Structure 1
């Protein structure tokens, strides 16, 4: 039984992550789908709805896969990587699954990278799924 924490922020990311999950999950596994938003003035109602749609896209994609799926949306002022690592510790997750986008070095510095920060900040395995640029 594997406990996977899946970080997503868009429906498009969820589609790529779900395609991977459909191939690797086993019936006894648990998939925790997490969306993290900053909150306060930095988060609009539209952001919240987009996050909800992102986690539901994973649920919908895995509906015919015999696996337990739980969704969580955090709006508590943390960076997404903080929420993912804290939640993984709470549920004693075995690994992370996140999408990564191709960015320029300047883009990484300016916008950061949840995947990169996760790789550098955790002792759990991290599965990085390439995301198609839109």
Structure 2
């Protein structure tokens, strides 16, 4: 089994990261940090820097967790996350969430909502503290 962290460099992503590390440490399983990118996009706000991802791996290793990074490119980010979840025998996906207006959900969709509804495993949704 594995814990998968769907990481985006944002307040929700930064809230989800320590929770994912703690889950992996508590269960004694590896952590896969996924920073999925939209294939073909010239600029992607979901892209995490190499330094940020290295820092997450170092934090996981300091907690005794074996951590790796995956950066799949796919026009459908949810599809990329779910494919990795199946490939890596993931028991839990940890994802950061934020409040969105009904209009925002209608116009832009919600990666977190789709992951929660379509995942083949448990999903732990983490929101930043208010």
Secondary structure at 1:78 match in 2: coil
For 1:35, the equivalent position in structure 2 comes to: 35
Gapped regions of structure 1 (runs ≥ 5): none
Secondary structure at 1:50 match in 2: coil
Note the C-alpha offset of 1:102: 0.5
1 or 2, which has the higher strand percentage? 1
For 1:108, the equivalent position in structure 2 comes to: 105
Normalised by the length of structure 1, the TM-score is 0.80
Secondary structure at 1:4 match in 2: strand
Aligned-pair Cα RMSD in Å:
2.4
Q: Number of matched residues?
A: 129
Secondary structure at 2:35 match in 1: strand
Normalised by the length of structure 2, the TM-score is 0.83
- 8 Å contact from structure 2 (residues 35, 48) kept in 1: no
Equivalent residue in structure 1 for 2:86, among 71, 85, 89: 89
Secondary structure at 1:58 match in 2: helix
- 8 Å contact from structure 1 (residues 4, 31) kept in 2: yes
Deviations 1:14-71 (A, max 9, x none): 421222134333273111000111122x233x75863544533422332410011010
1:70 aligns with 2:65: no
| Residues 60 and 111 of structure 1: CA distance in aligned 2, closer, same or farther (over 3 Å) | farther
Deviations 1:84-127 (A, max 9, x none): 10011111111100000100011111121111101111231000
Gapped regions of structure 2 (runs ≥ 5): none
Note the C-alpha offset of 1:4: 0.8
For 1:131, the equivalent position in structure 2 comes to: 128
